[in-house]
Structure 1
Amino acid sequence: MVTAVVGHVGATRTKALSAPASRSLRFLPHSLIALDLAVIAAAGGSASYFQNGMPMFDPDASQNLASTGSGTLVALGWILVVALGGGYRRQVLGGGSDEYKRVLNATLAYTGLLALILFVTQADVSRAFFVLLFAVGLPGLLLARWGARNVLHRLRIRGHLAVPVLIAGSPAYVDDVHGVLNRTPWLGYRVIGAVTPPGDASHTVGGVPVVGSTEDVARAALASDARLILFAGGSSSSAQDLQEKLWQLEERGIDVVVAQSATGITISDRATLRPVGGLPLMHLGTPAWSQATKIGKRMFDVVGASVLLVLFSPLLAFIALRIKLHDGGPVLFNQSRVGRQGVPFRCAKFRTMVPNAEDLLAALKVASGYEGGLFKMEDDPRITKPGRWLRRFSLDELPQLWNVVRGDMSLVGPRPPLPNEVAQYDAAARRRLHVRPGMTGLWQVSGRSDLSWEHAIRLDLYYVDHWSMLQDLHILWRTLGVVVLGKGAY
């Protein structure tokens, strides 16, 4: 029965929906290697120029790594260390901050290694050239990756370099994952079907065609020309069952992604697998959110917010004057929000609504069919004329820089929740309160008000469990683009 269903659907519906995965995908790592070599060569040439002033035209100029045969070895060694650090793995290319982190860590490690080699061998290399090489090369590599990622994202959004994906799991989990992938087309995952527990449904509620049963995922993948299987909740009856399915797919060269919902465990950078008596045990180190409360992040927040307050002071004065002249009401709107570990604080914003906005809230909730979570209306009648452009570009939140200086908030973190929202939190959602709320965060750069309540919570929990300083910098950079475009703000 399973064979007939999979064979029939795979040969008709799914084959029509999908095209074979682009062969160009396998050349992505090679393209990045060529790009990195070009950047390193340019860095070496720039360092040589600044040190000696065009040594290729000056026969009396001192020699350095760029102008000798050793330069090629240095460049290849740099590429090798990045490769060993996982900087060219297809799984990390094009999404998240992990790609940048691997390039950064590998370059720092190579800097120390090369310095040690030069010291031991007593090589005649200028210190100025050595410093300039990496001072130019590291930012160059990171900028090149950023540029390559933007090109890759644009190609994927236009339908190129996509990977045909099957989602395995219960229909509810399939639709949940499908919704996430639909909102992130730049990831390059094109869902061509679902593999669900045995049943008679031909589609999930969300419209994903069912192409097979979870009892034989490998057969469904081969029949539908899928290149990747994403396991979600309900895809396996036990850990052993999931492991056997993974083995079958590995033997057939089909890539596998396992969502957290399939295991019930949050797997992060702090997880280390150690085999004990043939049994792989997962050891979890210090949670990432505990590092997000350390002095380093706090110093970054205070310095960054203070500098921004000074730079934006003319803009702050203009906005305050514009609000006051519009209706004569108060300039600021102070609202009670819940901070780290559930401590309440007064969150400052420029007022964007009529003075009696809170009195009108109950009637609007009834009229809009509000059922809980974050209340947002795309055409909220309470918003004033100046308030609309303030909200569009998130300028109403600039006074929160003072909250950051005070220690109530951080530049980056989960959205500061209202007390009534916290009252609805389950045990998982309360993990958001382990860190200071932020002026910006993953949910702001991933859709803002366009996201559902559940998806916003999921993004905040991911941030809490996977915090890193590099990720904060990445979010701040993405925030600039989101604010300028005004996407998802109302």
Structure 2
Amino acid sequence: MRQGGLVSPFPSARGRLTNGAMNQPATEWEQRYRRTVITSDTVATAFVVAAIGIFFGARDAANWHEKWGILAFGTEILVLAALAMSRAWAPSVLGQGAEEFRRLGRSLFTAVVVLALGGIALTSRNIKLWIFVAIPAIGLLTMTARYLLRLRLHKQRQDGRCLRPVLAAGSPATVMDLINRARKFPHLGWRVEAVCTVDGLGPDGDHLDGVPIIGALADVAGHVRRDGYRVVAVTPDPHWSPDRLQRLAWNLEGSDAEMVVAPVLMEVAGPRLHVDAVLGIPLLRVSMPTFTGGRRVVKGVVDRLGAAILLMLFAPLMLLVGVLVLADSRGGALYRQRRVGKDGREFTIFKFRTMVTGAHNARAQLADRNEGAGLLFKLRRDPRVTRVGAVLRRYSIDELPQLFNVLTGSMSLVGPRPPLPEESAAYGPDIRRRLLVKPGLTGLWQISGRSDLPWEEAVRLDLRYVEDWSLALDTVILWKTLRAVIHGQGAY
């Protein structure tokens, strides 16, 4: 179930905010944002195609129209048609999640295939330029433009604008969980404006954490049609039998509302969820997590290749940091520590030393000051951290030597946090699932707050990665890691 939004207390059951930019219907900003994305994609495609056509066509001006003009025009039309057919402009995917970029990538891949087949059929010698230069350039430009548009949209949502009004319908406990998640992740675009419960009441009367309870579950469709909610979020409640859910879906037909139902099976999302029709019954099929196979081979190749490139890029910085660490305090520049990796195998992790020599032996004296969650030991103002070490931790520079661990195969660029042996020994059966994959230099835990996260949330994120891993998710995490490192949230 998608989550996001911003919840505010409302003075009445209808509860619409009417000040400033928030009094316009949600469909207006959705249509405006969609038009902006379409325009951006069109301009980016036209710019790349025109630049290539003019630059290379100028060398063969006599045959420009025949050899370059037709190919340029055809490539632009092909890319835009592929975007439309792949529903890369669907409002439901714009501005959130990895699906938007997956559809964009799928569209460009389709354009490449069609161009290649067309080049073979027409025996064109110039088609390689459009396949290997034009399409990648279009992809780079369109993805960058969409990311910048998304940042602007997320900033507006943080300010309480461009949010979809949501009617949540279910038990008070599950609706409360939805409200809390909506408040925590406003960039995903949900604003829970009203609630329906089985009897139209909540534990504290006619409001649930500041959100008005406007009626019973049987009245959901009527409220949607009258008040114009854009999303109906159905959360678990014994009231929701298959017949009642089917009837609600029928009653919502013709409205602008999107019905979203929580399957209430397990915390599994992404490519592992599939809806199949078996014997006329819609079934939610959950495929097994993949720990081997072709995608894992690709991940391993990307890890080693990426680590090698990053080591070459950061070599001057790492040399400078090593000198600063040596000059700041006595001891070596690197710190070696045993950690637990895939399948419980121990390995030696490398980091720049950020603490005084013998810091591990002094940990017992600081046990009563531990601020870490669960099995973690953390201090915001750890007296063992050196001056240079504080800066290195603030921007995660101390973790750069772990690229050698990635290069040698004991770690991955993206994965769960590598635990200490004493932490791993205290794991229960559920938490030990973190060890089914290689630990990562970064992961969901890092882009979500790192040491500021409660222990249960950190474990949940790691397990979610293990269960729902995909190459697209790795790409998103790596992209968001840069922002997390710059902000330094939870790094101490």
Structure 2, gaps ≥5 residues long: 1-8
**What CA deviation, in whole Å up to 9, does each residue of 1:13-50 have, x standing for no partner?**
55155755431213333332222121221122112123
State how 1:4-403 maps to structure 2 within 5 Å: 12=12, 15=15, 19=23, 21-22=25-26, 23-53=28-58, 58=61, 60-64=62-66, 67-68=69-70, 72=73, 74-120=75-121, 127-129=128-130, 131-196=132-197, 198=199, 199-202=202-205, 208-214=211-217, 216-219=219-222, 221=224, 225-234=228-237, 237-250=240-253, 252-259=255-262, 262-264=264-266, 266-285=268-287, 287-291=289-293, 294-362=296-364, 364-367=366-369, 372-403=374-405
Partner of 1:431: 433
How far off its partner does 1:12 sit?
0.8
CA contact (8 A) 1:292 1:468 kept: no
Residue identity (%): 35
- The secondary structure found in structure 1 opposite 2:232 is strand
Cα 1:370–1:203, aligned 2, differ >3 Å: closer, same or farther? farther
Cα 1:16–1:402, aligned 2, differ >3 Å: closer, same or farther? same
**What CA deviation, in whole Å up to 9, does each residue of 1:68-110 have, x standing for no partner?**
4x75554334223222223112222112222112111121112
CA contact (8 A) 1:39 1:140 kept: yes
Cα 1:309–1:264, aligned 2, differ >3 Å: closer, same or farther? closer
Cα 1:463–1:45, aligned 2, differ >3 Å: closer, same or farther? same
How far off its partner does 1:208 sit?
5.0
Separation of aligned partners in 2, 1:196 and 1:363: 52
Letter in 1 for 2:49: G
Separation of aligned partners in 2, 1:242 and 1:264: 20
**What CA deviation, in whole Å up to 9, does each residue of 1:377-436 have, x standing for no partner?**
333343322221111100111121121122111011122223454455555543332221
Cα 1:64–1:214, aligned 2, differ >3 Å: closer, same or farther? farther
Cα 1:221–1:454, aligned 2, differ >3 Å: closer, same or farther? farther
Separation of aligned partners in 1, 2:110 and 2:87: 13
**What CA deviation, in whole Å up to 9, does each residue of 1:293-320 have, x standing for no partner?**
7222112212222232233333323333
Of the structure 1 ranges 204-213 and 456-465, higher mean CA displacement relative to structure 2 is found in 204-213
Separation of aligned partners in 1, 2:344 and 2:244: 41
CA contact (8 A) 1:157 1:185 kept: yes
How far off its partner does 1:475 sit?
2.2
Of the structure 1 ranges 243-252 and 183-192, higher mean CA displacement relative to structure 2 is found in 243-252
Cα 1:178–1:459, aligned 2, differ >3 Å: closer, same or farther? farther
How far off its partner does 1:241 sit?
4.4
Cα 1:394–1:369, aligned 2, differ >3 Å: closer, same or farther? closer
CA contact (8 A) 1:348 1:403 kept: yes
Separation of aligned partners in 2, 1:161 and 1:106: 27
CA contact (8 A) 1:10 1:224 kept: no
State how 1:406-417 maps to structure 2 within 5 Å: 406-417=408-419
Q: State TM-score, norm by structure 2.
A: 0.83
Partner of 2:6: none
Cα 1:209–1:11, aligned 2, differ >3 Å: closer, same or farther? closer
How far off its partner does 1:206 sit?
5.8
Q: State TM-score, norm by structure 1.
A: 0.84
Separation of aligned partners in 1, 2:359 and 2:46: 60
**What CA deviation, in whole Å up to 9, does each residue of 1:177-229 have, x standing for no partner?**
33433333222222334444544424888655544444544355557653213
Separation of aligned partners in 2, 1:112 and 1:188: 35
Partner of 1:6: none
Separation of aligned partners in 1, 2:373 and 2:129: 63
Letter in 2 for 1:180: R
Structure 1, gaps ≥5 residues long: 1-8
Of the structure 1 ranges 127-136 and 300-309, higher mean CA displacement relative to structure 2 is found in 127-136
CA contact (8 A) 1:393 1:483 kept: yes
Letter in 1 for 2:447: V
Cα 1:134–1:393, aligned 2, differ >3 Å: closer, same or farther? same
- The secondary structure found in structure 1 opposite 2:65 is coil
Separation of aligned partners in 2, 1:324 and 1:203: 64
Cα 1:127–1:423, aligned 2, differ >3 Å: closer, same or farther? closer
Separation of aligned partners in 2, 1:323 and 1:314: 14
Separation of aligned partners in 2, 1:129 and 1:64: 15
- The secondary structure found in structure 1 opposite 2:463 is helix
Letter in 2 for 1:156: R
How far off its partner does 1:335 sit?
3.1
- The secondary structure found in structure 1 opposite 2:260 is strand
Letter in 1 for 2:420: L
**What CA deviation, in whole Å up to 9, does each residue of 1:313-344 have, x standing for no partner?**
33323333333333313443333322112222
Separation of aligned partners in 1, 2:367 and 2:173: 28
How far off its partner does 1:168 sit?
3.8
Separation of aligned partners in 1, 2:392 and 2:206: 43
RMSD over aligned Cα, in angstroms?
A: 3.4
- The secondary structure found in structure 1 opposite 2:268 is coil
**What CA deviation, in whole Å up to 9, does each residue of 1:103-125 have, x standing for no partner?**
11121112212332343356796
Of the structure 1 ranges 448-457 and 115-124, higher mean CA displacement relative to structure 2 is found in 115-124
Cα 1:416–1:360, aligned 2, differ >3 Å: closer, same or farther? same
**What CA deviation, in whole Å up to 9, does each residue of 1:232-273 have, x standing for no partner?**
44475545544444444445432233346x343624324443
Cα 1:391–1:154, aligned 2, differ >3 Å: closer, same or farther? same
